[in-house]
Amino acid sequence: MTATFEAGREFAAAQDEADPLRHFRAEFRVPKRENGEEETYFAGNSLGLLPRRTRGYVEEELEKWGRLAVKAHFSGENPWMPYHELLAAPMAGLVGARPSEVVTMNSLTVNLHLMLASFYRPTRARYRILIEDHAFPSDDYAVESHAAHRGFDPAKAVLRLEPREGRAALTTDEIAEFLAREGDSIALVLLPGVQYYTGQAFDIEAITRLAHEKGCVAGFDLAHAAGNVPLRLHDAGVDFAVWCTYKYLNSGPGSVGCCFVHEKHGRNAEIPRLAGWWGHDKASRFRMETGFRPILGAEGWQLSNPPILSLAAIRASLDLFASAGGMEPLREKSLRLTGYLEWLLRRELAEAVEIFTPEDPEQRGCQLSLRVKPGKTSGKTVFRRIEAAGVTCDWREPDVIRVAPVPLYNRFEEVRRFVEILRAAIG
């Protein structure tokens, strides 16, 4: 892979010119600096850029609200009552699911609590939950709270799997060894698709198989995986998954999240759940009767009618993914774009910057997590300097700069320019 890259500006420009996805950048609003120049925006792993078409999609629903008011639930183009169904097939395509296995609703952590209520069914012998060390705080808090809610001591019930000393990332072999040793006491495995801190992509299919072999439920937080790496949730046999839509899926701050429930569970109306009106059988929902009868599939976990304006923004972004051809062409560009970033960093800054995202492209998404090696300039100072120079990425305590060139809107020339700015910031 390294032999295919060159360091000069001409190479980066040629890559951008040959990029079949290059025109999608014009579909997004790129923030500008005070001098009018576009920022180098490598923070799609925190908040994706605004698709230009989103305004039209949202204004269409605002106009409908003004013109039809409550009648818009059932009248006009794309009535609100079934509006969320418009998102099922395109969202399912991005995560390798069947449309009935996916629903857009709530926020990621609310969906995680709903899934834990249904799928964390501890016994005195099998009550533990396995997560990775340094998991995203919401995941950590959620599993601790469910363990405590079921009467277990979270300090004993929550297992945090650490990588071997000297390594930042876990290996599938380490997970397998741990499950072989402790699996009989584990009720649920909850791991990320892509780890937010290290950028490591996990082998979801292998982990699901290993968990099931030990009788554990396999769930995944896909906040940093959906729209970033190809996923095959149905074929992998994943029990459940949750994700947000405002990172790589470009739906706007605090937008509605998504949930996957494998059809083997979704078709089981007897699974315990925290029920709500919107998850009740559609044919009898408006009879307003007692006795919850869930919709079969992921929709049966819905609680309330979703915010239409947020769904409209998600729909706008999903249409862009469809226009780009889905995840395969985006992944192809991502591998090369992030590979180019890695190659330049190792060539230009190997003595000053450590990359602790896995080197194997199959074990990462578009994000690289960087650590400035000890020297005259601290990592936090370097981060502030690159921000001042027009780069937007992000800082994660205690010492990590996360850089995510997104294939839908980032360019090779930006990668080259970022490395120049980083070199100057380190001094």
Pair of tokens at residue 394: 């992000």
Three-class DSSP labels, 267-327: CCCCCCCCCCHHHECHHHHHHCCCCCCECCCHHHHCCCCCCHHHHHHHHHHHHHHHHCCCH
Q: What is the distance, to the nearest Å, from the Cα of residue 370 to the centroid of all Cα atoms in its chain?
A: 20
* Strand, helix or coil for residue 245: coil
Give 36's DSSP letter.
Answer: S
Q: Which amino acid is at 113?
A: H
Contacts of 291 (CB under 8 A, 6+ apart): none
Distance CA 263, CA 100 (A): 7
Does residue 51 contact residue 317 with C-beta atoms inside 8 Å? yes
Distance CA 130, CA 159 (A): 5
Query: Mind telling me the catalytic residues?
Result: 136, 221, 246-247, 402
Does residue 102 contact residue 258 with C-beta atoms inside 8 Å? yes
Distance CA 294, CA 277 (A): 9
Distance CA 296, CA 269 (A): 7
What does DSSP say about strands 394-396 and 391-392: parallel, antiparallel, or unpaired?
Answer: unpaired
In sequence order, which ranges of 53-136 are alpha helices (DSSP H)? 54-68, 85-95, 108-119
Distance, first Cα to last Cα, the chain: 29
Distance CA 185, CA 214 (A): 9
Which residue in the block uniquely carries the two structure tokens 């490395």? Answer: 419
